[in-house]
Amino acid sequence: MTEVRWLDDAEQHAWRSFLRGQALVLEGINSDVVENSALTLNEYEVLVRLSECEDRRTRMSNLAKDLVHSRSRLTHTVSRLEKAGYVERFPCPDDRRGIICGLTDAGFERLANAAPDHVESVRARMIDRLEREEFLELGRIFAKLVASEESPAT
């Protein structure tokens, strides 16, 4: 059995600060988005991702991967957005098992109206609380973590 490499006090403090900090920031932004646009942060992110896709549509499986959501979680979120008329789902023409999710014009308009308040929330709750270089370094750190998680195992 391999010996456990326990966190030292500084590492434990950093880890717990990360957990609490990211939870507080995301919960605060979610609250702001709900209050200002009646969308959850998850719903907002689905609309954003679809708006960035070619023809504003993509496979549900790709959307789940990009958002790091389980397929069932994404299905629930998309169902709410579909009932509101912001997205539509239809069979993938290339694969009968696949489902395409597309952003409707109403969904794009909803996103456009919600975006300014969302950006202000992100700035107020995170970006403006850090020095610019700290924020950019945080982005570099997380890009490194994402790359290591998404690279094939050797």
The predicted pLDDT at position 91 comes to 93
The H-assigned helical ranges of 54-129 are 60-67, 71-83, 105-125
The predicted pLDDT at position 153 comes to 62
Q: Is residue 154 scored above 80 in pLDDT?
A: no
Confidence (pTM): 0.89
Tokens representing residue 10 in the block: 């500084």
- Each residue of 93-112: pLDDT tens digit? 888 789 999 999 999 999 99
Instruction: Residue count of the chain, please give it.
Output: 154
Which of 24-38, 63-77, 121-135 has the least mean pLDDT?
A: 63-77
**What distance in Å separates the CA atoms of residue 61 and residue 46, rounded to the nearest whole number?**
12
- Each residue of 133-145: pLDDT tens digit? 999 999 999 999 9
Q: Is residue 130 scored above 60 in pLDDT?
A: yes
11-41 burial, b at 16+ Cβ within 10 Å, e below that, comes to: eeeeeeeeeeeeeeeeebbbebbeeebebbb
CB-count burial class (<10 Å; 0-12, 13-18, 19+) for 100: buried
The predicted pLDDT at position 70 comes to 85
